[in-house]
Structures are given as C-alpha cells and as structure tokens.
Amino acid sequence: MSSGGSLPPVESVPSPAAPLKPFVVKPARPKMTPRGTRLTASTLVLIAAIVLAVSMAVSWWGASSTGGGPSLEVGFLPGSSYTFSSSVGGGSAGSQLYSSAGLVHVGHLYQAVLGVLVVAALAGFAAMLLGYLGALGTFRSRLYMQFTLVLTIISAGGAILLPALVAASQPSAFTADGTGFSGAAGAGCGTGTTPCNSFWGSVSAGGTTVSWGADVGWYLSIAAAVLLVIALVQFLQTRKAPYTRDEVRPATVALPPALTGAATPPPPSAGTTAATSAAGPSPGSYCPRCGSPMAWVPQYSRYFCMTERTYV
C-alpha cells in the first residue's frame, strides 16, 4: 500500500483476451560448410566462363537507321569483322572486315577484346576445375587454392575491364579512323552527337533516325563480372578452412567423454543402421550446425564436433 493511493482489487483487473503463446526458440540455421561454399563458388565461375565464351559470338555494339529511307543495322563482334543487315536493293545481310570499311582502329580494338575474352574465359574454366577438385579435398597442397584465387581474379579482371575499355576507347577509335561509320549507319564525325564522341546516342534528320549503343555481348561481360566477384568473395571466405586431403579427412582418434567434457552420446537414431555405423568415417565430414570439421570416435561410432563439443 502506497501513500499515493491504493491498488485496485484483483477482481477489477481485466483478464487477457487470449492466453499467451509459449515462446519457442527456433534452432539456428546450419551454416554452409566450406566444401559447400567452394562448390557454389566453382559453379558461379563455370556459369561466368560460359557467359564470357558466348559473348565472343555476339555483338558488343550496334547501330541502326530507321525512318523514311532504307533501314540498316550493324553489329560489332569481337575479332576482325562486323555483321550488317540492309534493306537496300531488296535486302542483304552478312559480315565484313572492319578494315574493308575503313575502320582500322576499331578493328584493332575488337581484336584486343577477343584476345582478352579468350584469356578470361580460359582462366575461368581453369579456376572452376581447381575449385571443384579443391572442394572435394583432392589436393595435397594449399598452393592450388592460391592458383584458384589467381585464376578467378584474372577472369574477373578481364570481364570488368572490357566493358569499360570498349565504352571509353571506341569513340576515339572512330575519330582516328575519320568516320563515325557513316557508310553503314549514316552517322559521321560531324558536329553534334555522333559515334565519334559518344558510345551511346541517337540523332534524327530528314525523317531518318540513327541510334547506336552497347549490345548483348557488352552486357554479358558485366553479368559475368558480377558472378566472378561473388565467387571470388566466397573463395576468400574459405581460404583458411581445411582444404588439403589431410586437412579435410576427419581424425580417427579416441575421444573419451572424460577428456572432451562431453557426456556419453545417446544411441544412434532409428534411421542409423548397424551397417552405417560399422562403415567408419567418411572423408570431409563437417558439423551440420557450425560447419567445423568433425572427429570420428570409433568406440561410439559417432562424430564429435570439437567446436560445439557434442556428438552428431
């Protein structure tokens, strides 16, 4: 009883509208094991390498003219030639050398693009192979992990560099050639916005509209770069985790409860058969809760997590 007043009688306190639900603590979601992370990263590198390989066969920059006159479309491919499609004279389509159209410097640029793409794609496929083998605990030396990182960096560097290189260098290449591809797309190096001073653009004159800009291959390289950067981060996250054949193989040592501080493990679940228990440890076993390597305890035919200090 306080001097400020008296408490209301118990009967006047309203009852809750509904009984309180018990608070249930959900178990923590198991972390992905280093092996799973490496397999995921290797798969991302594989996809990125395939994307880079596909980008070699599609246009990186395109221009088109539409309107009152004949329509024309061109696409710049990595290598020494470009494609064209025209409605002039009943229509025609095909490929032509950059040099034959007076685009010598542009041709040199796209030959360099093809060379970098080949190196980036091959580095990606090699990094993927080493990544898969490393995830399976195949190697005896951690040096292969360094090779995987270096190859992934090379592949990612090429995928990041090329879109920036093309966007920055192509207008200068047009200027050096003295043409904005006027013979094909109707845009010369005159005043205003042209391919000589802008990687993207559009102009209209006399009822004809000329548009140009990045094409499929340019965007594919960016997509591959994103995948490779994600894969590189995942590889770096597991660079200190068990990697070699000896590191990922679980230790087959006796761990009495008195030494580990753990209680005698319960008997195996009903789903664990005697044949499974007698089969012994499997290589590369990790704790499903914390992702740490586990040790095999023969006298209990169970795995023991040294981090969680419990049997699994």
- From CA 220, how far away is CA 108, in angstroms rounded? 21
Residue 54's pLDDT is: 98
Residue 223's pLDDT is: 98
Structure-model confidence comparison of residues 93 and 182, the more confident one: 93
Residue 199's pLDDT is: 93
DSSP string covering 57-113, please?
Answer: TS-SEEEEEEESS--EEEEEPSSSEEEEEE-GGG-EEEEEETGGGT-HHHHHHHHHH
Name 246's Cβ contacts closer than 8 Å, sequence gap at least 6: 140
Q: Are 263 and 184 in contact (CB under 8 A)?
A: no
Q: Give the pLDDT band (50/70/90) at residue 74.
A: very high
What are the φ/ψ torsions at residue 64 (nearest 5 degrees)? Answer: -145, 150
* pLDDT digits 0-9 by tens, 208-264: 888 999 999 999 999 999 999 999 999 999 988 888 887 766 544 444 454 445 555
Domains of the chain in start order, with CATH, are: 34-245 (1.20.140.150), 249-312 (no CATH)
Query: The dihedral of CA 284, 287, 288, 289: what is its sign?
Result: negative
Best CA proximity match to 53, nearest among 111, 124, 107, 108: 124
Q: Which residue has the tokens 């997509």?
A: 223
Q: Are 47 and 64 in contact (CB under 8 A)?
A: no
Enter the pTM of the model. 0.71
Let me know the angle formed at the C-alpha of 202 by 199 and 207, rounded to the nearest 5 degrees: 155
The H helix count followed by the E strand count for the chain is 8, 9
- From CA 159, how far away is CA 248, in angstroms rounded? 33
* pLDDT digits 0-9 by tens, 13-63: 444 455 545 555 455 555 678 889 999 999 999 999 999 999 999 999 999
* pLDDT digits 0-9 by tens, 141-171: 999 999 999 999 999 999 999 999 999 999 9
- From CA 292, how far away is CA 38, in angstroms rounded? 15
Best CA proximity match to 61, nearest among 257, 216, 260, 209: 216
- From CA 239, how far away is CA 29, in angstroms rounded? 23
* pLDDT digits 0-9 by tens, 49-66: 999 999 999 999 999 888
- From CA 291, how far away is CA 293, in angstroms rounded? 7
Structure-model confidence comparison of residues 23 and 86, the more confident one: 86
- From CA 286, how far away is CA 36, in angstroms rounded? 10
- From CA 293, how far away is CA 305, in angstroms rounded? 7
Distances (CA, A) of 88 to 63, 69, 95, 102, 208: 16, 9, 16, 21, 15
Best CA proximity match to 298, nearest among 245, 267, 256: 256
- From CA 301, how far away is CA 32, in angstroms rounded? 24
Residue 10's pLDDT is: 47
Residue 122's pLDDT is: 98
Q: Are 215 and 59 in contact (CB under 8 A)?
A: yes
Residue 281 clears pLDDT 90, i.e. is over it: no
Q: Are 167 and 214 in contact (CB under 8 A)?
A: yes
β-bridge pairing 294-297 and 302-305: antiparallel
**Average pLDDT of the chain to the nearest whole number:** 80
- From CA 57, how far away is CA 301, in angstroms rounded? 56
Runs of H (alpha helix) within the chain: 34-55, 104-135, 143-177, 182-185, 216-237, 245-248, 257-260, 274-278
